[in-house]
Structure 1
């Protein structure tokens, strides 16, 4: 008996709408941030069995990413090039306010049959906020603002005469028409800090966390789910990973070694300085990147730590291990996106489905 489709682990990929690829390294990356490359990549990913694509939001250059396309407009372009893929557009409170985001995303949802979602990025780079003249808030205040942002979005999307009195946002009998079609656009958020997890347990549909081992992911998932249950809330978990899948494990490990050997040390250390400050800025000092090594930081979101590096069978088994730890989605980066997304769809996703089916059958037989 096949596993229920709703129980199947989901797959997403990072949209390379930012130059420089997904690693801070001088290794060759056959990846391009052009519209043409990304439209074709979205079509390849859709055919390969990917469920979501996640666009990135940046306002300033740095760390090998000199050029950046705006996330919402770019996401809409990818939606226009596909038919089933969902695209998650990154939104940053400050430059956006909930009224604009609610209307913008409602319209795109209407135009694309409900295939747009958002990733609300609370912000970690103080220099970026300073560059664009946005006020910088303390760590936990940024998450308080994000929570108000999400509560405002939901209120605007579901209520007529929406009124809200927050510390950051206020609405007075506001009615958005037309509202987005149901189901409402999903709301993703990231972070590993206490404030990020607590916010997810109250208001977000999905929680993204940096790459990590199944044991460490399980700790975060157990923490979030216990709090979500106490809040009568439901949240799913996505885990970041950088996949290097080759015919042999030695080949895959050699590619990883080359990525790190060719890392740009100045850029990695500059990135590390900023993100470690961000991670340590949380009251408990446990935010994203707080414990990342130089090698981890070569991939923006600790993707190597998820260990999806090896043969298709090894990678499929490790994905199922992450699923057992509580992951509902794997968010993937690749060195050569078009080629490797296609390869992943042909050689890894079918093995994951086989393993899921076998586990479901075994569970059924044990009942």
Structure 2
């Protein structure tokens, strides 16, 4: 085990949505059903992962024809594990703070304090239209999400909670029982824009960003750190990555080439049109996917950009470069989830812990 007090943590994308994590026709030994995911959760727990992130999708598209609801699905995975924490993604709009606070408090009690939440401000405009939800402008979505988080925290930590915002209002509301975790379950949020960083600096426990280089994510981290100096607990940082770990560099690069060669051009372009309007919709044009290439978009969250493709030693050293700029968590996607999560735990994670221990000893 690493002696570094700030050991990196690892999360994996739960494949509760069909089609895997790449918009490609390449064969994948990953499935979206419950049995596969319960087995995967146990493998991830054994491999050393701290979290699994259940995705939120309401409608089909871009290869994701089927989608399990993340809160209920997370509870089923918690029932199959003993240590793993599940992060359930939710959308303000379809969900309300009162419903989410009640749901997660109950799941937290049942699971022994192993539920967390990821607030997704919204990127899929067609999905909102399909379910009859208003589509807000970019910064308004983040303003609503911030109110959502403030309401959640208030419900979970205050007796007789009252709140008067532009989107949500509460009047002397009390929740019993509250969550087991104190002061409340961890609150994650995504984004790369100024509005996302500002929100994270004010109210979130974790900031998750799309794939990037160490230099690219350093800029985001430094911005958040400057804006959150008033906080007692620093905002933690996670970055998305698609990991292709193989015994040789040539094998890993061949897998990447196959994924890209078999990409579905029509689906990738349709996905690109949908998400670019979300990223470019930020006033400064720096949101998620604002400058993503075709190759970036083949992996939904720019996971190839992070560069975790190669041998176990290369990946371990690259991950330590992210830690050096302030990253606290790697949110990992895989092609063949069960086998590759196990391989990561067996071949990559021990190397990471050894590098952390060596760095701590040297320091």
The answer to whether the superposition gives a TM-score over 0.5 is yes
Secondary structure at 2:278 match in 1: helix
Match of residue 36 from structure 2: 37
Asked whether 1:61 is paired with 2:60, we answer yes
Match of residue 125 from structure 1: 124
Cα deviation, 1:103-134, whole Å, max 9, x if unaligned, reads: 00000000001000000000011110000000
Structure 1 runs not aligned, ≥5 long: none
Cα deviation, 1:330-366, whole Å, max 9, x if unaligned, reads: 0000000000000000000000000000000011xxx
- Report 1:199-210 matches (<5 A): 199-210=199-210
CA contact (8 A) 1:2 1:361 kept: no
- Report 1:224-303 matches (<5 A): 224-230=224-230, 234-303=234-303
Q: Equivalents in 2 of 1:39, 1:317: separation in Å?
A: 30
CA contact (8 A) 1:201 1:233 kept: no
- Report 1:1-367 matches (<5 A): 2-4=2-4, 6-183=5-182, 184-230=184-230, 234-363=234-363
CA contact (8 A) 1:13 1:52 kept: yes
Q: Equivalents in 1 of 2:254, 2:325: separation in Å?
A: 28
Secondary structure at 2:16 match in 1: coil
Task: Using the TM superposition, give the Cα deviation of residue 232 of structure 1 relative to its aligned residue in structure 2, in angstroms.
Answer: 5.3
TM-score under structure 2 normalisation?
Answer: 0.98
Q: Equivalents in 1 of 2:224, 2:261: separation in Å?
A: 36
CA contact (8 A) 1:91 1:119 kept: yes
Q: Equivalents in 2 of 1:108, 1:305: separation in Å?
A: 35
Cα deviation, 1:209-239, whole Å, max 9, x if unaligned, reads: 0001000111111111111114555210000
Q: Equivalents in 1 of 2:181, 2:130: separation in Å?
A: 38
Cα deviation, 1:251-271, whole Å, max 9, x if unaligned, reads: 100110110010000000000
CA contact (8 A) 1:202 1:233 kept: no
Cα deviation, 1:143-177, whole Å, max 9, x if unaligned, reads: 00000000000000000110000000000000001
Q: Equivalents in 1 of 2:181, 2:17: separation in Å?
A: 31
Task: Using the TM superposition, give the Cα deviation of residue 250 of structure 1 relative to its aligned residue in structure 2, in angstroms.
Answer: 0.8
Secondary structure at 1:117 match in 2: strand
322 and 130 in structure 1: CA distance in 2 versus 1, 3 angstrom threshold: same
CA contact (8 A) 1:203 1:233 kept: no
Q: Equivalents in 1 of 2:305, 2:176: separation in Å?
A: 45
Comparing 233-242 with 279-288, greater Cα deviation is found at 233-242
Cα deviation, 1:268-300, whole Å, max 9, x if unaligned, reads: 000001111110000001100001000000000
CA contact (8 A) 2:108 2:181 kept: no
Comparing 275-284 with 177-186, greater Cα deviation is found at 177-186
Q: Equivalents in 1 of 2:25, 2:334: separation in Å?
A: 15
Q: Equivalents in 1 of 2:343, 2:125: separation in Å?
A: 38
Task: Using the TM superposition, give the Cα deviation of residue 135 of structure 1 relative to its aligned residue in structure 2, in angstroms.
Answer: 0.9
Equivalent pairs counted in the alignment come to 362
Secondary structure at 1:278 match in 2: helix
Secondary structure at 2:132 match in 1: coil
Q: Equivalents in 1 of 2:230, 2:272: separation in Å?
A: 36
Q: Equivalents in 1 of 2:188, 2:177: separation in Å?
A: 23
Task: Using the TM superposition, give the Cα deviation of residue 182 of structure 1 relative to its aligned residue in structure 2, in angstroms.
Answer: 2.7
Q: Equivalents in 1 of 2:88, 2:231: separation in Å?
A: 27
TM-score under structure 1 normalisation?
Answer: 0.97
Structure 2 runs not aligned, ≥5 long: none
